[in-house]
A and B are shown apart, each in its own frame.
Chain A
Amino acid sequence: MSSAMIALFLDALWETLGMVGAAGLIATVVGLPLGVILLTTAKGHIFAHAGVNRALGFVVNATRSTPFVILMVAIIPFTRAVVGTSIGTAAAVVPLTIAAIPFIARLFEQAMREIDPGLIEALQAMGATRLQIVRKVLIPEALPGLVAAVTVTLVSLIGYSAMAGAIGGGGLGDLGIRYGYQRFLPEVMLAVVVVLIVLVQFVQSAGDALVRRFSRK
């Protein structure tokens, strides 16, 4: 591979990391409170509220069941309003984030659902407020599960970012399509796939290591 090609590769890798990192970060920050709300507004839970629970559940399910390609196109006006353009790396972050938020919120909810209700009860018996229960039990006790959820989300985002790239979003997917497919350079296509595999492997092992690190069960 020529050094120009290598430079292109590094740029593309960098763009992918940027898209996945930004979308992953925003999704985690927004998804955590949403996950908490999904869980705790359920019947019998600390913030039980049927209306909120049903409404949020519906939005989350609706977003999750929309195919990513359609979501990307459908929200182009919104993307333009946010970043000023509908193509490029920054523009791709918007649909990636929108898709990742409900995804990770559900995973967070499930991770926190695993916590023994006895722990919540113990905190209630100590006179903990409901927010204290969230801060002292739900989040810290579910930490390994939450980290695993972030890992799964990042891995999915790597895949989706390649898709976003394919329709003008930049990054490795874009590189693979433009050089590998349109200019018929199969070795570039292959290299893109290999890099993506390595990236996914790396994220997965780092995530697993963190999960082990936080696991006290």
Chain B
Amino acid sequence: MTSIANGAGAAPPPMIVLSGLSKVFQGPNGPVNALSDIDIEIGRGEVFGVIGRSGAGKSTLLRCLNLLERPTMGTVTVAGRDLTRLDRSGLNAARREIGMIFQHFNLLAGRTVYDNVALPLELAGADRATIARTVPPLLDLVGLSERANYYPRSLSGGQKQRVGIARALATNPKVLLCDEATSALDPETTLSILKLLDKLKRELGLTIVLITHEMSVIKEIADRVAVIDGGRIVEQGRVYDVLSRPREAVTRALVGEVMGHLVPDDLAERLAGRVPGGALWRILFIGEAGYEPVISELARRFDIDLNLVHGRIETIQGEPFGSLVVNVIGSEAKLRQALGYLKIRHLDVEEIGHVVRDDRAVS
């Protein structure tokens, strides 16, 4: 059918498709539009991050993916099946293919680590032999074989989340939903959990959707990211692109927390006012260009002065990314030539501030 029509090179169908998704809650002060018109496609084996401020609608969005929250409008298609059209038992079956982990782990206190991981199998009606075959390799995978007979209360936060992950994987799901899965953990433990998720993606081909308010989490493991604000997706794309060139103010604020390459507006204004005859540029070094000695070359070729105001080099998913804020001083013509040269070199330059010749500052 469609696969033939699309030919051999057709992209595989996405794992998750959200289409026209809206959610309205009836709050005490009238209806709350928690989600409006969300369209997202998530590919197989992709790590997709959703980031936003508190109250932006992240949790609601994630909970719509397994219908813990039923959308007011729109469809949720996972592995080709529209969940909103399933009856109760169909939905329960579909949910076994969608694992979920939580900020506060949600482990059963009365069950050992082993029995917590066995729980989804029990629910699915697996017999003892199947459980005994399935659970130990999962505990091994998350590095908790030694702790099989412990109760959750005697585990650290990171260990609890590992149990949560093993439990979510017990029914061999295709998708893993992570609701602020590392927000209750310290930075080091966060990193180890993210490494584990990355391993699951590579070894099991798992599709992972994670929501977070921390850009560092997105930067660490996501392939693509959607920025949500006021219940709407305001920006989405490859993590590298969104982090290196954020378009929206919300995104800039969130990116600034990890990248620090955005000069705060007030600082930019002040700097702009104090550079007679010069300009303030932000130069982005994207990809391989990150390693090139551009500054000294500019100074030599165009006979202009460059003062470094702020600079930083980062890697996002192994690709180098740098940003420099420089105060350039020289004649208008030379500056224009230099700007042209940077453009030819495919460097991204943004004029943050500029001072015209008669010293009347504009910005």
Contacts and interface: CB of A to CB of B under 8 A. Distances in A.
Interface of A: 116, 118-119, 121-129, 132, 136-137, 140-141, 143, 214, 216-217
Contact of B153 (A127, A128, A216): A216
Nearest to B93: A127
B79 to A, nearest CB: 14
24 contacts: A119-B106, A122-B100, A122-B102, A122-B106, A123-B119, A123-B123, A125-B66, A125-B95, A126-B120, A126-B123, A127-B96, A127-B124, A127-B171, A128-B92, A129-B88, A129-B89, A129-B92, A136-B119, A140-B111, A141-B108, A141-B109, A216-B152, A217-B109, A217-B153
A136 B122 contact: yes
A214 B68 contact: no
Contacts of A126: 95-96, 100, 119-120, 123, 171
B59 to A, nearest CB: 11
B94 interface: yes
B53 interface: no
B110 A127 contact: no
A119 B111 CA distance: 12
Contacts of B94: 127
Interface residues of B, number: 30
Given A126-B96, A129-B92, A136-B123, A121 B106 contact: yes
A138 to B, nearest CB: 11
Which of A116, A127, A129 is most buried by chain B, counting CB atoms within 10 A of its CB? A127
A46 B104 CA distance: 21
Which of B89, B95, B171 is most buried by chain A, counting CB atoms within 10 A of its CB? B95
A119 B96 CA distance: 16
Contact of A116 (B98, B100, B106, B111): B106
B108 A137 contact: yes
B283 to A, nearest CB: 46
Contacts of B122: 136
Interface in B275-309: none
Interface string B78-114: 0000000000110111111011101010101111000
Contact of A132 (B98, B123, B151, B177): B123
A97 to B, nearest CB: 29
Given A121-B68, A126-B171, A216 B102 contact: no
B68 A125 contact: yes
Closest 7 CB pairs of A and B: A127-B95, A127-B92, A122-B106, A125-B100, A118-B106, A127-B96, A126-B120
Given A118-B102, A118-B104, A141-B110, A124 B68 contact: yes
A216 B92 contact: no
A122 B93 CA distance: 15
A119 B152 CA distance: 13
A119 B106 CA distance: 5
Contacts of A123: 119, 123
Contacts of B95: 124-127
A29 to B, nearest CB: 21
Which of B109, B110, B123 is most buried by chain A, counting CB atoms within 10 A of its CB? B110
Given A119-B108, A140-B108, 9 more contacts: A116-B104, A118-B104, A123-B123, A125-B68, A125-B99, A125-B100, A126-B96, A216-B110, A216-B152
B196 to A, nearest CB: 19
B189 to A, nearest CB: 20
B58 to A, nearest CB: 16
Contacts of A132: 123
Which of B100, B120, B123, B152 is most buried by chain A, counting CB atoms within 10 A of its CB? B123
A216 B153 CA distance: 7
A214 B110 contact: yes
Which of B93, B108, B111, B152 is most buried by chain A, counting CB atoms within 10 A of its CB? B108
B100 A216 contact: no
A124 to B, nearest CB: 6
Nearest to A119: B106
A126 B92 CA distance: 7
B88 to A, nearest CB: 8
A132 B122 CA distance: 10
Contacts of B66: 125
Interface in B196-226: none
Nearest to A214: B110
Contacts of B152: 216
Contacts of B96: 126-127
A46 to B, nearest CB: 11
Contacts of A119: 106, 108
Contacts of B88: 129
Nearest to A118: B106
